[in-house]
Amino acid sequence: MYRVIVLLLLVQSILPLIRCTATRNAVVVARERTTAKLSCHTGSINILSAIYGKGPDNKWNVVLDEVRKACDGRKSCSVPAQNSLFDDPAYGVVKDLVIAYECSRRYW
């Protein structure tokens, strides 16, 4: 009986530390002067990567921080693909905003 009580107390103290999640991954590509629209039917958005650019020299800016500020933890968000937000890594060339994200749902 003592062992059962100790085991139950141990499990009860560990459960809050365990993060069990279900995820769905997606990639959104938005052309310059359009808007990337992200959404999660269940769970919330967790941005995995975000880059902006293109061109013959494959010039890309990592824009992870900016996109995370706009979207992380939300059910949906919109991010404009604009030089004014992300600088212009390839002047005179139409660029893409590429965002990889997951929809996370915690069970505990």
Domains of the chain, residue spans: 20-106
Global pTM reads 0.76
Question: Would you say domain 20-106 falls under CATH 2.60.120.740?
Answer: yes
Q: Could you give the CA distance from residue 43 to residue 39 in angstroms, rounded to a whole number?
A: 10
pLDDT in tens, 37-83: 999 998 999 999 999 999 778 999 999 999 999 999 999 999 999 99
Residues in the chain: 108
Contact 78, 36 (CB under 8 A): yes
Q: What is the mean pLDDT of the chain?
A: 83
Q: Who contacts 101 (Cβ-Cβ below 8 Å, separation ≥6)?
A: 25, 26, 27, 28, 38, 45, 46, 47, 48, 71
